[in-house]
Structure 1
Amino acid sequence: MRKVVVTGLGVVSPIGIGVPAFREALFAGRSGIGPLTAVLTDRLSIRIAAEVRGFTPEDHFDPRRLPLLDRISQFAVVAAREAMAMAGLEFSDALAARTATVLGVGVGGIGTLDDAFHRLYAEQAARLHPFTIPRLMVSAPASHVTMEFGLTGPAFTASSACASAGHALATALMLLRSGMADVVVSGGTDAPLTLGTLKGWEAMRIVSPDTCRPFSRDRSGMVVGEGAAVLVLESEEHARARGAEVLAELAGAGMSADARDLTAPDAEGAARAMRLALDDAGLNLGEVPYVNAHGTATAANDVTEAQAIHAVFGPHARRLMVSSSKSMLGHALGAAGALEAAATVLALRHGVVPPTANFTEPDPACPVDAVPNEARAVPIRAALSNSFAFGGLNAVLAFRTA
């Protein structure tokens, strides 16, 4: 079976635009959660979010192109540019045809949809912008990435709520192993900070009023975020042949469906996905010292995820480091799994386990070592990255040092 390696990373996140800024803030435990500014809050009880601050579209795109790009596509293209530059790829026609593009998207161009509905229903507009549909479709980010680099191989979107990017990366792994592609540009993107979307989250009553504290006894819910992360994946043979620097190996993936409830997580389904990822990667339990948790800081998720980890790892679970990057990044929905995959690759690459920020006190119902508040300089050779979505759709990625 072909080995699959990571040769490029690109990040647009609430804690930094670009990998260097992202890495520095991640290892420092610096949270990107703050007052919500993207939307007027007079009609919202939600007052905080994890926003990508300092992102000016005109700094990245020709003004003539911007009318075609929802914020979700802007994030994807900027992250892909950085990942491609890091990978150092140059595309001939032959390689372009052997390069796939698979991106995870949760809600699509919801900013465009929100604006269109406001014009239609509030302003009684007779016409909408002619680019409304091309901007809002969930496949738009993948299309824009292909056009940016002239990639003519398979290209599509994975959309499975909060597991979208995990499923996208798992699909990329399968494409490379099967020989259908030599390179895959994969990851996830989302920009859900609109009035309509936030009103929907508000109605679920699972959003924190202050901050995201995964695995803490006094956790009060999730925080909605935004951003993108893109990974360049290659067969090891292809990467070595061109002398590429290898950042890590994507060693395996596991996917499952709970088939039980639309919103309540299930430990059995999550555990099954973790076991499948470990088996696919050929990893023994003792070889994995770190799990980058889904870790949303909701009452149900953190307990269920801790139960699943203990079910899979048994006594070794007590020695695992289990941190949640959402404590800093918020929950970027379709982009979450990609941002967390990037965090996991950086942890392996630099021998630093990122912390769970905002941690206060342990919850006996979540008996895990959450790496509270301070990163740990610990060489690690393998790690899991968990993504568990509404609808009981689970994706777990296994990475190891290359």
Structure 2
Amino acid sequence: MQDPITVSSIATISSLGFKREDVWNSYSNEKHCLSEQEVLNKLIPVSKLPKSLDNSVLNLRASHPKYRNLDRTVLLGILVARKAVEKAEWDASAEFGINMGSSRGATELFEKYLFQYRNSNRASVFTSPTTTLGNISSWIAHDLGSKGPNISHSITCSSALHALLNGVAWLRSGMADRFLIGGTEAPLTPFTIAQMQALKIYSPFAGAEYPCKALDLEKEVNSMVLGEGAGVACLELGITKNTLAIVEGVGYATELLSHGTSLSANAKCIQDSMSMALKDIDASSIDCIVMHAPGTIKGDMAEYKAIEAIFGKDLPALTSNKWKVGHTFGASGILSLDMAIMMIKHQHFFKVPYLNRTSEPARLNRILINAVGFGGNAVSVVIKAI
């Protein structure tokens, strides 16, 4: 019998906080962690780091000359990677793989350097490679001093859970004994926000009680809110004293494109990814599903219909963290995994406060997590308590 693949530690940074107790406290109340930002002379809801954590990012940038020209996505990734490796008690000099996902990559620097180029017809010497996607995992590997393979990729909003898939594949193949996986995103820039507004999916509800109505299937207006954040999990073979949860099932699927952001009405890709993840697991044993549920009308409903197609009328408890922390694009899957691990650890269900249709589970032993990105790239992961 194969050793199980386990999560030895997880670290995240977002508007929820950075310290584990701060993240727990943020999840444990019914207040969202969204704020407001002025874009083109208009206030919009966003999910950004608290000032104290923003200072941590600035301090990291100033800590070494080589870090001064790195994008915010990279700096967020370094912060969480350091903490995760420390909590897992991994020897940084030992060999372990790294796979970091990001939907947009170096958004802040790309926009900055493009603006400079358009105004001067000259490109900054720092433009490349700091705007390449590969520099995320490379700088994390440099910071940790690791000697294993390091991979960066973008599979839109399911990027972090695709990193988990890759980690599982490397561990199962015998090519690695440990793998650090995660995602990082810093999309709160004018051009990125304008893109979401152009798609007519961005929330117009600045100042509302709940600017993002993720999982509200009766909403009549799209309410997606962008957020920044990062997360990293340490995966390894076998159960250790640090094990937080077992990765029991993984699944993935892709839909045929009808347009760049397409997702079928019944989210066939999510149905297929959940079916694969549940291949050797009784669906009735799933106690909770952490949905992707970005707060869009079509996206939320399609995922809900996909869950109905797999589970029938007897659905597990459903939840999402997008109403509280916004949509962190490529990092969203790792934040959902963190939420699931916290629920299992504390045996406490984090409900969506404005919904009444889902009952709280009596136990939290198995949780399924979904992520899906533009273009119908879905990943589903089942984690189990030790």
**Taking structure 2 as the reference length, what is the TM-score of the superposition?**
0.91
Aligned equivalent of 2:235, options 212, 233, 236: 233
2:73 maps to what in 1? 72
Q: Which secondary structure does the structure 1 equivalent of 2:98 belong to?
A: strand
Give the 5 Å matches for 1:117-196: 117-121=114-118, 124-196=119-191
Q: State the distance in 2 between where 1:146 and 1:378 align.
A: 41
Contact 1:102 1:185 in 2 (8 A): yes
2:247 maps to what in 1? 250
Aligned equivalent of 1:263, options 261, 264, 269: 261
Aligned equivalent of 2:339, options 340, 343, 368: 343
User: Once the 2 structures are TM-superposed, how far is the Cα of residue 126 of structure 1 from its aligned partner?
Assistant: 4.4
Give the 5 Å matches for 1:272-311: 272-279=272-279, 282-311=280-309
Structure 1, 223-232 or 213-222: larger mean CA deviation: 213-222
2:368 maps to what in 1? 384
Structure 1, 14-23 or 206-215: larger mean CA deviation: 14-23
Q: State the distance in 2 between where 1:29 and 1:66 align.
A: 37
User: Once the 2 structures are TM-superposed, how far is the Cα of residue 46 of structure 1 from its aligned partner?
Assistant: 6.3
Aligned residues: 371
Corresponding letter in the other structure for 2:115: H
2:208 maps to what in 1? none
User: Once the 2 structures are TM-superposed, how far is the Cα of residue 24 of structure 1 from its aligned partner?
Assistant: 1.6
Return 5+ residue gaps in structure 2 as ranges: 206-210
1:400 maps to what in 2? 384
Identity among equivalent positions (%) equals: 24
Q: State the distance in 2 between where 1:349 and 1:177 align.
A: 26
Contact 1:351 1:377 in 2 (8 A): no
Contact 1:15 1:30 in 2 (8 A): no
1:53 aligns with 2:55: no
Q: Which secondary structure does the structure 1 equivalent of 2:281 belong to?
A: coil
2:222 maps to what in 1? 220
Contact 2:370 2:381 in 1 (8 A): yes
Q: State the distance in 2 between where 1:151 and 1:252 align.
A: 28
Corresponding letter in the other structure for 1:206: I
Return 5+ residue gaps in structure 1 as ranges: 363-367
Q: State the distance in 2 between where 1:169 and 1:158 align.
A: 12
Contact 2:137 2:151 in 1 (8 A): yes
2:202 maps to what in 1? 207
Aligned equivalent of 1:330, options 326, 330, 336: 326
Runs of 4 or more consecutive aligned structure 1 residues displaced over 4 Å after TM superposition: none
Contact 1:161 1:390 in 2 (8 A): yes
Q: State the distance in 2 between where 1:187 and 1:348 align.
A: 20
Contact 1:68 1:134 in 2 (8 A): no
Structure 1, 322-331 or 210-219: larger mean CA deviation: 210-219
Corresponding letter in the other structure for 2:17: G
Contact 1:46 1:207 in 2 (8 A): no
Distance change in 2, residues 1:2/1:259 (3 Å): farther
Distance change in 2, residues 1:378/1:82 (3 Å): farther
Contact 1:46 1:198 in 2 (8 A): no
Q: State the distance in 1 between where 2:172 and 2:348 align.
A: 29
User: Once the 2 structures are TM-superposed, how far is the Cα of residue 378 of structure 1 from its aligned partner?
Assistant: 4.6
1:84 maps to what in 2? 85
Q: State the distance in 1 between where 2:277 and 2:293 align.
A: 18
Q: Which secondary structure does the structure 2 equivalent of 1:16 belong to?
A: coil
Q: State the distance in 1 between where 2:144 and 2:311 align.
A: 42
* Alignment RMSD (CA, Å): 1.8
1:104 aligns with 2:101: yes
Q: Which secondary structure does the structure 1 equivalent of 2:139 belong to?
A: helix
